[in-house]
Each structure stands twice: as structure tokens, then as C-alpha cells.
Chain A
């Protein structure tokens, strides 16, 4: 496959987070509107300077990005609604980058956010997709817990991964989260707690499952010259991939679209997995983390157990991973979850982390994964980001 054109001097800047709460009486519009306000404050620009908008949200209905432009009274010349859940942030970058590179927009605000009412997760899950409504949800209404239990049980059986392997990742993420004041989880997690937690959907136990909450994330995509004019700290976009409905003939999902596109990603970026200083994965369940380790070339297929046992995953460890704590320890604010790793990577590469700083971080990979439409996650994507001065 030919390598796509380089992104030249496309940069990402102004990472913002609207603090997460477990439940909110506010609507998605509130969280997304707050995200835009935070972006304007962070970039010190007037609203009119933003002429592009990419929006991801599960709970914005009946509105889409269109309704949001009027709700927030924003006049833009480039608009995208990206209904891709955990892959939405990556896809927004990929589209916004080409828009600013080619002059279709000057500054694109990429925002993802959702509210969470006491019964909204059930209502969203019950009507998540036609296939899910017809052929999954009526069988026990387990939601994503059930789907990821299938994947986890299959992966453990096929590749010999153990609960301890997954637990090691969850414990490391919690350690990272304890240093992040915006993480909803404030207590340390011991491996024994992880292993002994109550069963949710065998083999998944409580700390394997992401906690839905309300919140939003956002960042700006622009050309380097614009960022320098505004005096913003920025990161460079070196490469970006997305893939949807990869490997439909695999009986059970044991790999994602990254496997198809990672060579393209690294060729476009001009760096390889060995150059990467930290990884931010989409982590609603630990099994999906390890598919990203393999898919993005950090270890070979089936070698995850050995890779996990040979590395440490805290910010100061041998393989810094989900350095803000990830969704499993920060919370899953709906579609914001697909942006959480991006804002954290921008912060790490611009020296302004919420928690601990990865030492001398030059390159980071952020990965997205989303939409269990039926029996597997359909959307995947990843970006390679680099600090401003190589």
C-alpha cells in the first residue's frame, strides 16, 4: 500500500479536559460547550477564530455536530460528526489534519464528550446498533461486559494470558491515575484486589470493566505557523491510520485493524515502535490493550503474556502506558474516552502532564478502538505524535 502524503507541519495543541463526574444532571451540550470554552481559554483566542469543528458524542441526540454549531453559536466552514466511539478522536485528527493542511480550515476544534444520567448507559446500550438490538442485547443485556468477556475468554484460552497478566496492567494504570488529580479513582489497587473482585461476566471482574461517567476532552488541530503565531505549545502529527471492519472472517476478534495498517503508520511517521517513548491505548477492558500492543508492533502476535511479564507499565517503567491512568482508572466519559489518550499524549509531549511526566518523552503513540456493533469492535485507528523539536 502506498504511504499517504506526509502531514507536513500539522500540529495539535491546547489539550483540555472538562472534569469527569460519575453522574450529571447536565446534557451532553453542557460538557461539549464547556470543552469549547476551555479550548478558547487555553489558546487565548476568540470563538470566531475556530473555523472547523469535529464532534463525537453518544448522548447528544437528537442533535449532531450541526445542532451544536447553533447551540454554541459557532460559525465554521468545516464540520464533522464522528460517531465512532473509542476511535473518534483518532479519526477526527486524521480528517482535521488534512483540512488544515489544505486550507479548508485554519483551526479545528476536536471535541468528544458525553453526559451520564443514572439510567442513560442502559438506554444507550439497549439501542446501540441494529445488530446489537436484534441479536446481542436480548441475551442477558450484558452490554459491552458480555462482548468483552467473550473476547477475553477466547484470548486467554488461545494465547495463555492469565488474569495476573491483565491485572498487572490494571494495577499499573491505577498507579498512574493516583498522580492525576482529574482521575475518578483515588485509591490504590492491589493485584489481590483485582483478582478477588466480584465477578461481572466471567472471566471479567469488577476492575476489568470501565466505569461510565460524564465529561469531555478537546484539543485543537492547526498548522505549525498558526500555533507559533498564537504562542501555543504543540505536538507534531507524524502519522495517522484508521480502519473499519477489519478481518470480518476471524471467528472471534483477536486482532484489530492496526495489524493491516501499522506498516503504513510507521512508514508515514518515519519512526518505528522502538522509537516510541509511551503508548496511550483505548482501554475499556484490559484484553483490548494487549491487542493494541500486538497490533501496533510492540510485541508479536501471541507473545503478549511474555511481553507483559517482562515489562513494567507505570510512568517510570520500562513501557510507560496509559500514563494518565486511562479510562479504567480515570473513568469513561462516553466518546471522550476516544480523546483521553490524545489529550494526555499532547500534555506529555509538551511537558504539562496532569500526573507524572514520562522522562524525556519525544514520541508517543495514541490508539483508538470503538463500536462493538455486533460481536467485535469495528473501528480502529492510531496516530504517532512527536514533541515540537526532534
Chain B
């Protein structure tokens, strides 16, 4: 177990609470293509279908042959740092508050120049580097020049650490401790150096062995939280909302049925009550306090994590109503993301495929072990991404979705009876 991160001094109540500032967020629509790949932790550039010329900055037509057939293609990011500077003055408040900044001009082997942040592990120009993407605090793509050979964490660089939501030393709420995914996540967060973990427990008279075991964890505190009860959510927000730095919503109500498989809507209503309205209740109670404390470093609120489902992308009829509830939650998470973005609080969505638990019993492998999903949560926080598709099935589905959403609808529907 890693050593405990030192806790910061208690806040001086006389000092004003810092307000959030952000890096510039304006981008042309075509440049949002880079944000789209960075959200998944990839690096891609536009490539011309007709002459293969690589493009950057993002363009509407090919810089070489003027074809308009430009497509985003993965790049290895290798290139040379040509020249660099350390900015000791900046025009925007966000940068001014964090001076100095080291940036460089990189020539990719693919033949384009780009401006990037330089990781502290990168030597002085000229030298070889490898470009990676991250999301900045405004939620836009940022290019980072890394050492070519080594793969250091962003967190090793004190400036770039702010592009992550590293759980080390953080206070975290996991909303429903009764699921196997939540229990594995709590363990993974503890291993990653979380300072404190509140674990929500609904219906405490129903004991679950895995949750009981977590009582032994030094960092863990079990708190009453029922997402189907607005009063319960508000009460907890009143008690700990001002301390939570990362909120991880693991609450999940999962029943397996299609439209024709069951009469009545009561079970589907309960799915919606937990998966969709539960998220809404949480967001109404916790999002305002998280926003208010987004710049209150070092104990500022930094992230909100939703464990959704790959079935949010396209309905999977054997789990038809469950898919619908997760699609609703996904849609609401986009609202939450937009409302938290001005404060720089990141919303991370995970879209796992079938999990190796009782509710996915009839799904064929490969299935995602709860511990693997927990690892994905921690990696997403330590990295700088907002959309995570953990496991082979999720990767397969998202590839199909990005390639042809209508095709995925048909393919997913083949399971219907």
C-alpha cells in the first residue's frame, strides 16, 4: 500500500475562496475533432484520403491537394522538439495564476508542426519527443510532448498533474457500496492513495458481505445514502458535500428484460429511479457545491465519475429497459458535464460491457471482472480522459458505433427474441 499523502493544512476561513479560471475554450468546429479523440485518450490527426498528407492545425481542405476528404487517423506522435520557450507572462488568468509554462514547437515525423506543452521529462531542444493528448481544464484537447522512449505519468509533472484527477490524497464519495463494482473500486482507490472514501449504503438492514469487509479499510467510512430518496441525498450532501473532491456514482439497478418479456412498468420504473433519477438527485444536491469548490486548492473538487453501460450507446434488447435507463443517464451526464465544465470539474463516463456478475449471467464471455472495471476508474482519474470503454466488448461496441451507429443498432438488435 502506498504511503499516505500528507494532508494540507486546514483552510484559513479569513481568506477568500479562489474562483475557477479556465484555459481558452474557443475552437473551430473542425478542431473539435482533436477533442473527440483526446476524450478517449487517443492521438489522431486529419489525413487526406486522396493524397495522404497529414494536416495540422485542423483544416477544412487538404493543405496539399485541396481535397475536402479529410479523415481523423491515429498517429504515433513521434517527432522532434525544434524550439521551446518558458512563458513567464500570459494573457489569460488561468495561465497567469500558474506561471511559468514550458511550451515547444514540435515537428512530427509526419511533416507537420504543432505547439505542445512539454512534460518535465523532456530534454532541451532539439530532441526527440512523442506527442500524447490530454484534456485541459476547459475540457478541450491539449497536446503534450513526452520523452520519446519513456512513458511517464502526467502526474510526475506538477503542472500537468492538474490535467489529471489523480485520486492520491483525495476525498472521494462512492455512492453505492453494495455492488461488486463499487467494492472493487473502493479497494482500488485505497490502493491508489485516496485519503478518505465515503461509501454510500442504502437499505442498511440488507447486509452484503463485500461491503462489510470494507469497514476494515482505514480510509473508508460507510454513510447512509439512498439514491431513490431525495431527502437522503440532500442530507448527505449537507453533511459531506463541502468536502467531496471526487464523486463516483456506482449506483446501478439492473434487471434483464425486453418489452415483451414482462408485463407492467414497475421494474423499469425502479431502473429509472436509480439509474436516471438517482443521478439527477445526486447532481442537484452535489453539483453546486462541487462547482463552488472547483478552485479551492489543494482540496478542490475535481471530478465526477459515472459508471454507465455500453448499452447506453445502442439498445440491447435482452436488457432493453436497462439500456434505456443507462441511455437516459448518459444523456443527463452530458448536461452535467456542460454545467460543471465552466468550473473545470471533469465528468468521466465509463461504458463497460457485460460485467461478470449475476445480472449478466446469460451474457457470453468475455465479461468484465469488477476489479478490471475498478482499475479502469482509477486509470481514468490518473489520466486525462473523459470517455472510457473498458474491456473487449465495450471496445468492440464503440468501434462499431463510431464506424456506423445504425449498423450497431441492427447488430445489437439481433439478440431480440
Contacts and interface: CB of A to CB of B under 8 A. Distances in A.
Nearest to A374: B57
B82 interface: yes
A278 interface: no
Contacts of B83: 150-151, 153-154, 157, 252
A69 interface: no
A363 B125 CA distance: 42
B92 interface: yes
Interface residues of A, number: 37
Interface of B: 23-24, 26-28, 31, 56-58, 82-92, 94-95, 101, 103-105, 107, 113-117, 125-126, 136, 138, 140, 142-143
Interface string A245-258: 00000011000000
A150 B116 CA distance: 12
B26 A126 contact: yes
B26 A133 contact: yes
Interface in A116-156: 121-122, 125-127, 130-131, 133-143, 145-146, 149-151, 153-154
Contacts of A130: 28, 57
B308 to A, nearest CB: 29
B371 to A, nearest CB: 37
11 contacts: A135-B57, A139-B117, A139-B143, A140-B87, A145-B87, A146-B103, A150-B82, A150-B85, A201-B85, A251-B107, A375-B113
A139 B88 contact: no
A195 to B, nearest CB: 16
A198 B117 CA distance: 22
A68 to B, nearest CB: 28
B376 to A, nearest CB: 28
Contacts of B28: 130, 133-134
Nearest to B114: A135
A136 B31 CA distance: 12
Contacts of B86: 199, 201-202
Contact of B105 (A150, A198, A204): A150
Contacts of B92: 122, 126, 141
Given A121-B91, A150-B84, A200-B89, 16 more contacts: A134-B31, A138-B138, A138-B142, A139-B117, A140-B117, A141-B24, A143-B91, A145-B89, A146-B103, A153-B85, A153-B125, A157-B125, A198-B88, A252-B83, A374-B57, A375-B113
A139 B85 contact: no
A160 to B, nearest CB: 15
The binding surface of chain A is classed by DSSP as mixed
A153 B101 CA distance: 16
Contacts of B24: 126, 133, 137-138, 141
Nearest to B86: A202
B197 to A, nearest CB: 34
Interface in A145-189: 145-146, 149-151, 153-154, 157
Contacts of B138: 138
Contacts of A136: 115
Contacts of B113: 251, 374-375
B184 to A, nearest CB: 37
B115 A375 contact: yes
B225 to A, nearest CB: 38
A138 B88 contact: no
Nearest to B118: A139
Contacts of A139: 101, 103, 115-117, 142-143
A145 B87 CA distance: 8
Interface of A: 121-122, 125-127, 130-131, 133-143, 145-146, 149-151, 153-154, 157, 198-204, 251-252, 374-375
The residue among B28, B91, B101, B103 with the most chain A CB atoms within 10 A of its own CB is B91
A134 B85 contact: no
A270 to B, nearest CB: 38
Counting from the closest, the 10 A-B pairs by CB-CB distance are A149-B85, A135-B57, A134-B31, A141-B92, A154-B83, A140-B101, A122-B91, A202-B86, A199-B88, A141-B91
B85 A142 contact: yes
Contacts of B26: 126-127, 133
A133 B27 contact: yes
Contacts of A127: 26
A125 B95 CA distance: 15
Nearest to A143: B91
Contacts of A252: 82-83, 105
B90 A134 contact: no
B219 to A, nearest CB: 36
B27 A134 contact: yes
A142 B87 contact: yes
Contact of B95 (A141, A149, A150, A157): A141
Contact of B82 (A122, A131, A200, A251): A251
A4 B85 CA distance: 42
The residue among B27, B28, B84, B85 with the most chain A CB atoms within 10 A of its own CB is B85
A146 B89 CA distance: 9
B109 to A, nearest CB: 12
Contacts of A199: 86, 88
Contacts of A154: 82-83, 125
Contact of A138 (B82, B85, B126, B140): B140
B31 A135 contact: yes
Contact of A140 (B31, B82, B95): B95
B115 A134 contact: no
Contacts of B140: 138
The residue among A136, A138, A146, A149 with the most chain B CB atoms within 10 A of its own CB is A138
Given A134-B27, A138-B23, A138-B136, A146 B82 contact: no
Contact of B57 (A126, A134, A149, A200): A134
A372 B31 CA distance: 19
B84 A200 contact: no
A183 to B, nearest CB: 23
Contacts of A122: 91-92
A140 B97 CA distance: 11
Contacts of A151: 83
A249 to B, nearest CB: 9
A89 B385 CA distance: 47
The residue among B90, B117, B125, B142 with the most chain A CB atoms within 10 A of its own CB is B90
Contact of A135 (B56, B91, B94, B104): B56
A140 B24 CA distance: 9
Contact of A153 (B58, B84, B95): B84
B91 A125 contact: yes
A139 B160 CA distance: 12
B85 A202 contact: yes
A60 to B, nearest CB: 21
A290 to B, nearest CB: 16
Nearest to B141: A138
